[in-house]
Each structure stands twice: as C-alpha cells, then as structure tokens.
Amino acid sequence: MLREIVLDTETTGTDAKGGDRLIEIGCVELINHVQTGETFHRLVNPQRAVSEGAFAVHGISDAMLADKPVFADIVDEFVRFCGDARLVIHNAPFDVGFLNMEFGRLGPAAPKAIVLEEVVDTLLMARRKHPGAANNLDALCNRYGIDTTRRVKHGALLDAQILAEVYVELLGGKQTSLGLSVAEPVEATAILAAVDSGPVGPRPMRSRLTDAERERHAAFIAGLGTNAVWRDYLGEPETA
C-alpha cells in the first residue's frame, strides 16, 4: 500500500527567511493514488501581519487569524496526520522552506526537518512532461480538464484537493496501474462447447476460387517449365 500526503500552504508573504510565516496548511491523503477523503486543515495565527500581496492571493485577513492557534499548538497533530507518508507538493521548495522554518522556531522538541529530495514535486514533474509550457496549477487544470470553478481564491485545502487530481494526471491518468488484473476463469461448459464445435484456435478461411480459376492457374504454372527460377524459392529440385 502506497500512502501519500498532498500538501499545500498559505503564508503571510513569500520570504520565509525574512520572517514571513505560515497561516494555513491543507493536506489530502492518497492511498495508491486515490483520495480517501481523509484531510488535515488548519488556519494558524502567524503573530505578524499578512502582506497586501499575499492577502490579494488567498484572501485570508489578519482578523480571520487573530483567534487561531499558533503553529506550535497544531504541529503535533500535523505530524501525526502525515506520519511516514511521502509528501506531494507543487513547487516543493516554497512549502518545505516555510515548514522547516516553522519547525526551527520550536527548539529542541521540533520535528525533524523535511528532506526536500524525498518530496514529490509536481512542478518538476509537469516541467518534464510539458517542457516550455505554463505549469502552474491553473494551467495544469486547464490542460487536464479539471474543474476549478470553486477556486475563487487560493486556499490550502482546496488547492491540495485539486493538486491531488493533477498529480494523478501527471502519473498517466486515472488508470495509473499496469492493469495486470487476473482474468476471470473460463467456465468448463464454455470450453466443452468450443471443443464440440470444432478445433480450438484460428480457422482457415474458405477459398473463394472457382473451379475455372483453379484450372487457369494450373495451366499457367505448367507453362512456366520445370526449371523456372521461381521454383528455387519453393525448394523444389530442378529436373533434367
């Protein structure tokens, strides 16, 4: 069983090292590339203001976050939900950078940092599959016919759910397995019926030549002579 967690975040801005913080985490569980319905979603009080640029993207205001828990209060629940599953993220360095920065603020009891190389980055997958094309989430949804009418603003959980659909398409579509299913056994009665009806396997086609056509063909062959070159291809010995 393959368990993966598709993850997305929203933040106060774009500079984790410069002090921007996480404000929302959304996760979707996949088992063998299928959404199970299990999700994790939390808004987080960043203890700093949301930038105007970030607010324009996700629409999450300072007022909406004022009464929400800080990251330290939800981190254990988040880590338990993810477990040892593989993370799937679009533009992974951005989200992983923010998560690891938040972990680093927790001190000695912090969870171990996320290793970027162990994360499936769907942006890199898309760039390999569609080089030179736009590969942001909206462009991929348009390319694969995924409905985004519910996505008025960016939101971590909704974006994670949409990304889960995109991820499956990047893997090759809903039929991502090799399809090596076990065929249904043929019933004995069907086998007996086939045997009774004649030999099993391909049947020779019925000749459509008329008797007159066969006679003309035989006369043509006789007229070629016994030492004709074409007999070499049939392996027939030449006659003196």
pLDDT at 232 over 60: no
For residues 151 and 224, membership in a common domain is answered with no
Q: Residue 91 CB: number of other CB atoms within 10 A?
A: 15
For residues 160 and 213, membership in a common domain is answered with no
Residue 36 lies in a domain: yes
For residues 138 and 38, membership in a common domain is answered with yes
Would you say 76 is a known binding-site residue? no
Read off the pLDDT of residues 200-213 as tens digits, 9 standing for 90 and up.
444 555 566 677 77
Q: Domain range spanning residue 147?
A: 3-171
Q: Taking each helix axis from N to C terminus, what angle separates 156-171 and 137-144, rounded to the nearest 10 degrees?
A: 50
For residues 149 and 226, membership in a common domain is answered with no
What span, in angstroms and rounded, lies between the C-alpha atoms of 120 and 92?
Answer: 8
Nearest to residue 9, comparing CAs of 80, 87, 89? 89
Read off the pLDDT of residues 62-91 as tens digits, 9 standing for 90 and up.
999 999 999 999 999 999 999 999 999 999
Residue 111 lies in a domain: yes
Instruction: Among 146, 171, 196, give the residue marking a domain's end.
Output: 171
* φ, ψ (nearest 5 deg) of residue 108: -60, -30
Read off the pLDDT of residues 22-54 as tens digits, 9 standing for 90 and up.
999 999 999 999 999 999 999 999 999 999 999
So what's the pLDDT on residue 154? 78
Would you say 84 is a known binding-site residue? no
Taking residues 171-198, report their average pLDDT: 49
Instruction: Among 171, 200, 220, give the residue marking a domain's end.
Output: 171
Instruction: Among 171, 195, 221, give the residue marking a domain's end.
Output: 171
For residues 53 and 152, membership in a common domain is answered with yes
Would you say 33 is a known binding-site residue? no
Residue 186 lies in a domain: no
CB 170 within 8 A of CB 129: yes
3-state secondary structure (DSSP) of residue 141: helix
Residue 197 lies in a domain: no
For residues 33 and 130, membership in a common domain is answered with yes
For residues 46 and 146, membership in a common domain is answered with yes
Residue 203 lies in a domain: no
So what's the pLDDT on residue 185? 42
For residues 140 and 215, membership in a common domain is answered with no
For residues 54 and 155, membership in a common domain is answered with yes
So what's the pLDDT on residue 237? 53
Neighbouring residues of 24: CB distance < 8 A, sequence distance ≥ 6: 9, 10, 41, 42, 43, 44, 58, 60, 155, 156
CB 120 within 8 A of CB 96: no
Taking residues 117-134, report their average pLDDT: 97
Read off the pLDDT of residues 86-112 as tens digits, 9 standing for 90 and up.
999 999 999 999 999 999 999 998 999
Domain count, the chain: 2
For residues 54 and 152, membership in a common domain is answered with yes
3-state secondary structure (DSSP) of residue 114: coil
Would you say 41 is a known binding-site residue? no
For residues 137 and 38, membership in a common domain is answered with yes
Structure tokens at 199: 């030999």
Residues with active-site annotation: 154
